Amino acid sequence: MSTIAAAPTPTGTAPVLEVTDLVVRYGRGGRNAPAAVDRVSLRIAPGETVGLVGESGSGKTTIGKAILGLTRVAGGSIRYGGRDITHAGPRERRSLGGELRAIFQDPFSSLNPRRTIGASLAEPLRIQGIPAGEALQRARDMLESVGLPAEAVSRYPRQFSGGQRQRIAVARALITQPELVICDEPVSSLDLSTQAQVLNLLADLRADRGLSYLFIAHDIAVVSFLAQRVVVLYRGQVMESGPSREVTENPRHPFTQALTAASPVPRPAEQAERRARREASGVKPAGIVDTAGVGCPFANRCPLATELCRTERPALRALGGAEVACHYATE
C-alpha cells in the first residue's frame, strides 16, 4: 500500500478542531478514576487529515466519542470552528449534526437493515427540514459520488458487500456537507484491496470537498496512507506526533518503532526483516502494563526504561520534525 500524495498541511489558518489537554475517565471514583484519555492535545486544519493510531485500549475511539459528544469529558477542552463544544448540550449538538459527522468500523450495524439505503441517507437531511423529494435526489447524487449506482436508494443493506456498505456509510456521513468527519477504524474490517479502494475514495472526496478528517486506526501503515499528520497514543497518552512521513519513516519513540515494525507489508522479505527487527528491539509484548499510574505508561515494556521513566512522566519535546514523549528518545 503506497502513500497518497497528500496536499500540504494548511498553515496560518484557524483550526477546524482544537483539542487541548483532553481528559476522559471511566468507572467510579470521580477525579480518582483511571484516565482513559490523559491530557491529549491535537489540532486539525481545514482540508487536513490527522491520524490517531495506537493499540486496542489506547483511547483512540474514546477521543472520537468525546468530540462527538458521546462520552463525558473530565478535563480539557474541545473547540470546533472556534466554538467551545466540550460540554455542549443536546440542542447545540443537534445544530452541529450536519457539520460534524462520523464513519464507524462496522457499516452493517450502523445501517438499519429494515430501511432502504435511500431512507437511511435521507434521514439526516429530513431532520434539517429538507423536503422528501429533494432529500432522496441528494441521496442518489451522493451514492454516485461514492461509486455506487443511484438506483441503490431502493435496496437494503443486506444486498451489498462489506466494501459497498462502507461506501454507503461514507455517503451518509457526507450527505449533509460536513466540514469534519471522524473516521473510526473505517477500513479495519475490510480486505486489503477493498481497504485501498475506500482510502482512495476518502482522499478523492477530501480533495473535492475540502474535508477535514480525524482518522482513527490501529495500523500505522493505513494511517500514513491518508494522513498528513499522525498522533501516536499509548494508554491514553500521546507518545509521538508530527508530520506523517517523519513519524512513520523515522519514528523516535520506542512504541512508535514497535508499531511500525508490527505493521504488515505485502513483501515477504521486508516482512521477515521487520519481524527480526521487532524481536531484536527488546520491546516486551502487549499485556505487560505499568500499574503504578505514574511515569511513562510504556516503561514496563520499553528496553530503554530506567527508574526515571517509572517515576516521572516525560513531557512532549521537539525532536527532529516531531514531538516525542520519551526521556531517552535520542538514544
Q: With cut-offs at 50, 70 and 90, classify the pLDDT of residue 266.
A: low
> Which of 151, 131, 132 is CA-nearest to residue 140?
151
Give me 225's grid cell.
496512507
C-alpha 217 chain-centroid distance: 6
Residue 47's region, left for phi above 0, alpha for psi from -120 to 50, else beta, is left
Q: With cut-offs at 50, 70 and 90, classify the pLDDT of residue 2.
A: very low
Mean of pLDDT values over 4-12: 47
Give the torsion sign (CA, 245, 259, 206, 241): negative
* Total domains in the fold of the chain: 2
| Listed residues 151, 175, 199: the one ending a domain | 175
Residue 77 located in a structural domain: yes
Residue 138 located in a structural domain: yes
> Which of 147, 59, 156, 166 is CA-nearest to residue 104?
166
pLDDT, tens digit (0-9, with 9 covering 90-100), for 299-320? 999 999 999 999 999 999 999 8
- State percent of the chain over pLDDT 70: 87
Whether this model's pTM surpasses 0.85: yes
Residue 2 located in a structural domain: no
Host H or E run for residue 234: strand 229-234
Residue 57 located in a structural domain: yes
Mean of pLDDT values over 128-136: 92
170 and 186 both lie in a single domain: no
Domain residues for the domain of 217 are 17-99+176-324
C-alpha 283 chain-centroid distance: 25
